[in-house]
Structure 1
Amino acid sequence: MLSFFRKIRQKLLNQHRITQYLAYAAGEILLVMIGILLALQVNNWNEARKTKLTEEAILKNLVQDLTADSISYQSNLAALAKINALHQVLYEIGVKGMDLEIENPNAIRLLILFNPVAMENDPFVASKISNESIRKEILNYSRTLKDLEETYAEFKELVENRIRIFLADQKVHQLSKWFEGEGVKVKGEITFDFIDKADLILLSKTPEFQQLIFEASVKSKNTEFILREVLSQNQKLKEVIQNELK
């Protein structure tokens, strides 16, 4: 093909047809430019297609992680409900003098299993997404999750460094139940009470323990409130992503 074009150019030059030669040369340059532009366009299309496929894969993985997190959040809310219920019962027994039955006494030292994976697996995922709405929701979710992490850290510190130590000092743990009991766990749940209910009732009547219960209730309920916000943002983000993937 190139030799064919060279022959035409050479023929025009030999015939001293300068005007036609210049016009032909200009046309040949134009064809080359069109070819280059087409090649660039095809390359850009291929790159855009690869980018879209990569982004779709990122979004699908993110939805999977968000779904796993939402399941964990639901479990955390159930655990916090038990903790808050126990705090309320201990207040009513210790402060108001009511005769109530204590359920889940172990919850006095319980912490939730808080380990979200979506943002941990890819902290910079927002920068990899072209959709503005999705980026916005990812950032909203990340901010709410950060608030939860800070609030939960306060609750965790209180339980680990004050409540558990206080309970140990007061010797309310039933060691025989823990070390000699059978069927310790069913599906990850402890099936027996290793916190003595009678001792817990007595503690609930002491000002020192009442203050601990107050602090624990504030932090636990605050954790629950923000956790519900995180769960809502989680669902909203999943819906925005799923709409984009349709």
Structure 2
Amino acid sequence: MISFFRKIRQKLLNQHRITQYLAYATGEILLVMIGILLALQVNNWNEARKAKLKEEAILKNLVQDLRADSLSFNENLESLKQINALHQALYEIGIKGLGLEVENPNLIRYMIYYNPIAIKNDPLISEKISREEIRNEIKTYFRNLIDLDDGFSQFQELMEKRIRVFLADQNVQLLSNWFENKGINKKGISSEFIDKEGLRLLTRSPKFQQLLLEASIKCKNVEFNLEIVLAQNQKLIELIQKELKQ
């Protein structure tokens, strides 16, 4: 093809047809430029297609992580509601003198297992998403997780450094039940690890009442933040799924 064009140019020069030669050369240059532009366009299209497929893979993985977080958080939420119910019952027993049943006293020292994976797997994932709305919702979700993490850390510190220590000092943790594996539940913890009657007596202690107040405040704060995170989690999943269908 190149030799064919060269012959045409040479023929025009030999015939001293300068005007035709210049017009032909200009046309040939334009054809080359059009070819280059088309090649660049095709390359850009291929790169855009690859970027879109990569982003779709990132979004699909994020949805999987969000769903895993949702399952874990819903379990956490159920545990927190049970802990809050125990706190309320202990308040009713200690302050109002009601003869309520303490169904699971071990919850007084129980901590939820909090381990969000979406933010840990890729904390900078929002920068890899092209659609601004999804980026903003991811950032909101991660900010909510930070608030949840802060509240959880405070609750965990109170539980480990004060409540558990206090319970041990008051001898309401049943040594034999732990080592003899009495009443082990599905989570591997004895539901009778804490002495019910001993705990009921502690509800009259001003020091325990103050600890109970702190525990209730922090537990409800974690529950509140967790509900916000779960709502944002679901919103983000639905938004990403809608994007993937387009």
TM-score bucket (shorter structure): over 0.9
SS in 2 for 1:95: helix
The number of residues matched between the two structures is: 245
Letter in 2 for 1:85: A
User: Distance between the aligned counterparts of 1:102 and 1:86, measured in 2?
Assistant: 7
Q: Which runs of 4+ in 1 moved over 4 A?
A: none
Specify the alignment match of 1:194 in structure 2.
193
Q: 1:141-152 residue pairs with structure 2 within 5 A?
A: 141-152=141-152
Residue aligning to 1:108: 108
Aligned to 1:31: 31
CA distance, structure 2, for counterparts of residue 155 and residue 168 of structure 1: 18
Aligned to 2:40: 40
1:86 and 1:105 in contact (8 A); partners too: yes
RMSD of aligned alpha carbons: 1.0
Cα contact 2:105–2:191 (8 A) shared by 1 = no
Quick one: structure 1 residues 183 and 98, their matched pair in 2 at CA, closer, same or farther if it must change by over 3 Å? closer
**Residues 182, 190 of structure 2: 8 Å contact kept:** no
Alignment-mate amino acid for residue 192 of structure 2:
D
Identity of aligned residues (%): 67
CA–CA separation in structure 2 for the residues paired with 1:229 and 1:22: 72
For 2:141 and 2:191, locate their aligned partners in 1 and report how far apart those are by CA, in whole Å. 37
Match of 2:76 in 1: 76
Q: Hey, what does 1:236 align to over in structure 2?
A: 235
Quote the Cα distance in structure 1 between the aligned partners of 2:190 and 2:62.
Answer: 35
The match for 1:154 is 154
Match of 1:221 in 2: 220
- Deviation by residue 1:74-97 (Cα, 9 ceiling, x = unmatched): 000111011101110111111111
Q: For residue 132 of structure 1, report the CA deviation from its aligned partner.
A: 1.2
Please name the residue that 1:61 is paired with: 61
One-letter code of the match for 1:194?
F
Contact 1:177 1:192 in 2 (8 A): no
Structure 1 counterpart of 2:18: 18
1:185 Cα offset (Å)? 3.8
Query: 5+ residue gaps in structure 1?
Result: none
Please state how far the C-alpha of 1:191 moved relative to its aligned partner.
5.0
Which amino acid is the alignment partner of residue 141 of structure 1? Y
Query: Is residue 59–residue 240 contact of structure 2 (8 Å, CA) maintained in 1?
Result: yes
CA displacement at 1:150 relative to structure 2 = 0.6
* TM-score computed with the length of structure 2 as normaliser: 0.97
Displacement of 1:190: 3.0
Is the 2:181–2:190 contact (alpha carbons within 8 Å) kept by the matching residues of 1?
no
The 1-side partners of 2:21 and 2:75 are apart by 81
Counterpart contact for 2:184–2:190, Cα < 8 Å = yes
Alpha-carbon separation, structure 2, partners of 1:10 and 1:182: 102
After superposing the two structures, state which structure 1 stretch, 41-50 or 167-176, moved more. 167-176
- SS of the aligned residue for 2:96 comes to coil
Of 108-117 and 191-200, deviating more is 191-200
One-letter amino acid of the structure 1 residue matched with residue 233 of structure 2: N
- Letter of the 2:206 partner, please give it: P
C-alpha distance in structure 2 between counterparts of 1:189 and 1:236, whole Å? 34
- Structure 2 distance, partners of 1:197, 1:183, is 14
> In 2, distance between residues paired with 1:182 and 1:52?
56
- For residues 15-52 of structure 1, give each alpha carbon's deviation from its aligned partner in whole angstroms, at most 9, with x where no partner exists: 11110010001000000000000000000000000000
Which TM-score applies when normalising by structure 1? 0.97
For residues 88 and 2 of structure 1, what CA distance do their matches in structure 2 show?
89
Q: Distance in 1 between matches of 2:165 and 2:16?
A: 104
